[in-house]
Amino acid sequence: MSSLGRIGKSLKQLLTVPFASSEAEQAAAPDAPQPPLASPDAAPGEPSPRSLPGVGDLSPSLEDYLEIIFQLQQQGKVARVREIARLKDVKAASVSVALKRLAREGMVHHKAREFVELTERGVTLARKISERHEFLRRFLREILLIDAEVAEADACAIEHQISTQTLERMACFFQYLSSATEAEPAWLTRFRTECSTLPHPGPPRRRPEPVPLSRLERGQVGRVVRLLAGSQVRQRLVEMGVLPGVPLEMDGRSPLGDPIRVKIRGYSLSLRLSEAETILVEREQSRADR
């Protein structure tokens, strides 16, 4: 199986880079790809497997920055603050702050109003980060046969949160699959066939489309999903306890039809329709249906 072979190769690379920033560990790393099940009891001894969500001490957000700069450089483009802000969809000011932090960590060369360049250390780390992303994406795509789009999104979501230990085990699992035999094991083939016969879930578990709170009928129950209001109203709403995830019940309208009232957190709250428009809720089973 050629795809497995490719994965096996990228896996080797992957495992040679440990998910810690220190150079010493990096030097020690090449020995890492041990037979996966050969040292099962080594695992408990490892220090806090969940404590390292990212690579080194960088926060997920900073890792993203590093990745973006790396990609820009790979494409032969010059990484400028404005370009980075556009790609990450944030304000330039936030980029500057992030770059300052990265510079402090010794990952980039950056002076105000100039383009950004990764340091050697930055390049190493960025490569690791993007390889990790690539590995996760392929694992999902090629082994679990996840849809391409979903695989990409899930890889993004998983990469910052996954622990070193789990990632290493996943890598080992791959190596095991690819090195066990040139031919695909029978059980894997069976798994693949079964996957393809499974009813295609489409985009998995589509949640009910959020609607504005104003659309709820009296007695209907919903759960807040998002607040779209401007800062003044939003501030007031969160103060009154209207937050994503909070359940509420529509409790009718004023006789003139405009302000509505809802029950939330055990009390009655009134708001105008224009304000209710800005609160997106997921409809839940109404009381009458139950």
Partner 1 sequence: MMWKASSNHVTRAALLSSPQAKKVCWVRAALVGLPGAGRTTIFQALTRSRRCMAGFPGLERGRRGSFAQGSLQFEVADLPGIYGLSSQNPDERLVRDYLLERGETVVVQVADAPNLERHLYLTSHLLELGLNLVLCINRCTQARRQGWDLDFSLLGARLGGTRVVCVDGTRLPGIEALRAAIVEAADHPRTGTPYRHHPELEAAIGPVERLLSEPAPARAGDGDGDGDGGEEASPGAAAASPVRPGSARCLALALLQGDEELARRLRRTHPRAAQVLAAAAAQAGLAGQLRSEGIVEQIAAGRWSWASSLMQQITLSRPLGGRASFSDRLDRLLTHRLLGLPSYLLIIYGVFWLTFRLGEAPSGWIEAAFGELSRAIATSWPEQAQPALRSLLLNGILAGVGGVVTFLPYIVLLFFGLSLLQDSGYLARAAFLNDRLMRRMGLHGKSFVPMALGFGCNVPAVMACRLLENERDRLTTMMIIPLMSCGARLPVYLLLIPAFFPSPWWAPLMMGVYLFGVVMAALLARLLRATLLAGEDSPFVMELPAYRIPTGRALLGQALRPAWIYLRKIGTVVLALSVVLWALTSHPHKPEFEVDLRAAAGEVLQPGQLEAERAAEQLRYSAAGRIGKAIEPILAPMGFDWRLATAFLGALAAKEMFVAQMGIVFALGEVDESSPTLRQRLAEAYPPWVGLAVVLFTLVASPCMSTLAAVRRESGSWRWPLLQWFGLTLIAYLLATAINQIGALVA
Q: Which residues bind partner 1 (CB under 8 A)?
A: 59-61, 88, 90-91, 93-94, 96-98, 227, 230-245, 252, 254-259, 261, 265-272, 274-275
d(CA 241, CA 36): 49
For residue 17, the minimal CB distance to partner 1 (Å) is: 25
For residue 13, the minimal CB distance to partner 1 (Å) is: 29
Report DSSP state, residue 5. Answer: H
Among residues 1 and 153, whose Cβ is nearest to partner 1? 153
- The DSSP H or E segment spanning 248 is strand 247-253
DSSP codes of every residue in 71-134: HHHHTT--B-HHHHHHHHTS-HHHHHHHHHHHHHTTSEE--TTS-BEE-HHHHHHHHHHHHHHH
Largest Cα–Cα separation, the chain? 75
Among residues 123 and 227, whose Cβ is nearest to partner 1? 227
Cβ neighbours of 140 (radius 10 Å): 20
For residue 6, the minimal CB distance to partner 1 (Å) is: 33
For residue 236, the minimal CB distance to partner 1 (Å) is: 5
For residue 194, the minimal CB distance to partner 1 (Å) is: 34
Among residues 204 and 244, whose Cβ is nearest to partner 1? 244
Among residues 168 and 275, whose Cβ is nearest to partner 1? 275
For residue 186, the minimal CB distance to partner 1 (Å) is: 43
Burial (CB count <10 Å: 0-12, 13-18, 19+), residue 249 = middle
Closest CA to 5 of 184, 194, 186: 184
Going from the C-alpha of 71 to that of each of 133, 168, 208, the distances in angstroms are 13, 24, 36
Among residues 97 and 180, whose Cβ is nearest to partner 1? 97
For residue 179, the minimal CB distance to partner 1 (Å) is: 39
Backbone angles phi, psi at 288, to 5 degrees: -65, -35
d(CA 20, CA 138): 22
Q: Torsion angle, CA of 131/136/142/143, rounded to 10 degrees?
A: 130
Backbone angles phi, psi at 140, to 5 degrees: -65, -45
Among residues 171 and 248, whose Cβ is nearest to partner 1? 248
Angle at 284 between CA 278 and CA 288, to 5 degrees: 120
For residue 118, the minimal CB distance to partner 1 (Å) is: 20
